[in-house]
């Protein structure tokens, strides 16, 4: 199976903005692989910087291509307390974006959930899916 590994910078927005989040001096990057058969897998990593702003409302990270289906999981890490929280990834706005939800909850990840984000807190998301035909 032929695979491709491509780095990209995800667009980070929120459902209720503006204002939208801005990474500033933090770190935001993603990568993905296509298998040549219409399937993909990828990840998004974000580490908050000292002047990162978090926007208003649930966060959304754009995919670098149009997708038919996406699923995945993620982990949010509170740096100061070393607290972590697992979550599932749900696809929203088919073909455009993905958003993280806490397991067994309708709360979506955002500026104040699952905790108030601060410098060095991080979010890591892994996803798999199928491209639009």
| Separation of alpha carbons 27 and 97, rounded Å | 19
Residues 6 or more apart from 57 whose CB is under 8 A from it? 14, 15, 16, 17, 110, 111
* pLDDT at residue 59, rounded to an integer: 87
Those residues with Cβ within 8 angstroms of residue 8's Cβ, 6 or more apart along the chain or in another chain: 29, 30, 31, 32, 64
Query: What confidence score (pLDDT) does residue 132 get?
Result: 79
> What is residue 53's predicted lDDT score, i.e. its pLDDT?
96
Is 6-131 assigned to CATH 2.60.90?
A: yes
Domain ranges of the chain: 6-131
Tell me how far apart the alpha carbons of residues 83 and 94 are, in angstroms, rounded to a whole number. 32
Per run of 10 residues, the mean pLDDT along the chain (length 133 residues) is 70 86 96 92 95 91 85 88 81 58 70 90 91 80
DSSP 37-104: SSEEEEEEEEE--TT-B--SSSEEEE-SS-EEEEEEEEEEEETTTTEEEEEEEEEETTTTEEEEE-TT
The total number of residues written for the chain in this structure: 133
User: What region does 44 belong to: left with phi over 0, alpha with psi -120 to 50, or beta?
Assistant: beta
pTM for this structure? 0.86
Give the separation between CA 52 and CA 59, rounded to whole angstroms.
14
- Closest to 34 in 3D by CA, of 11, 74, 63: 63
| pLDDT value of position 98 | 55
Q: Smallest Cα–Cα separation from 75: which of 128, 12, 124?
A: 124
pLDDT value of position 3: 40
């Amino acid at each position: 199976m032929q695979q491709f590994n491509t780095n990209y910078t995800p667009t980070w927005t929120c459902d209720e903005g503006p204002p939208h989040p801005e990474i500033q001096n933090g770190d935001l990057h993603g990568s993905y692989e296509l298998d040549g058969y219409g399937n993909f897998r990828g990840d998004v990593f974000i580490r908050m910087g000292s002047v990162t702003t978090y926007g208003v409302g649930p966060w959304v990270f754009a995919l670098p291509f149009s997708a038919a289906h996406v699923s995945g999981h993620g982990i949010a890490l509170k740096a100061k307390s070393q607290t972590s929280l697992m979550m599932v990834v749900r696809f929203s706005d088919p073909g455009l974006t993905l958003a993280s939800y806490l397991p067994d909850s309708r709360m979506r990840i955002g500026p104040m959930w699952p905790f108030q984000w601060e410098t060095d807190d991080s979010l890591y998301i892994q996803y798999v899916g199928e491209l639009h035909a």
